[in-house]
């Protein structure tokens, strides 16, 4: 535990960068989990039920998710 706190002391000058990096990594991971869910919802709620409005909605959400991914990465 002593070594952990020693390492943390080296991060103090870079607190903002570390926080930003951690936040962007969290958003990126969440986005990576969201994309397969959106594909599944598009198939199950849109294509199988024949509701094209749902397909368009989820396709739009997929485009937004990919745009966020490209900005965050």
Domain edges within the chain: 27-73
pLDDT above 90 for 64: yes
Res 21: pLDDT: 92
> Which DSSP string corresponds to the chain?
-HHHHHHHHHHGGGHHHHHHHHHHHHHHHHHHHHHHHHHHHIIIIIITTT-HHHHHHHHHHHHHHHHHHHHH-
pLDDT above 90 for 26: yes
33-58: pLDDT as tens digits: 998 998 898 888 888 888 888 889 98
Res 11: pLDDT: 86
């Amino acid at each position: 535990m002593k070594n952990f706190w020693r390492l943390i002391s080296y991060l103090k000058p870079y607190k903002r960068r570390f926080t930003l990096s951690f936040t962007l990594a969290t958003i990126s991971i969440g986005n990576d989990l969201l994309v397969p869910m959106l594909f599944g919802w598009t198939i199950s709620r849109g294509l199988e039920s024949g509701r094209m409005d749902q397909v368009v909605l989820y396709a739009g959400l997929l485009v937004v998710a990919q745009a966020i991914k490209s900005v965050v990465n």
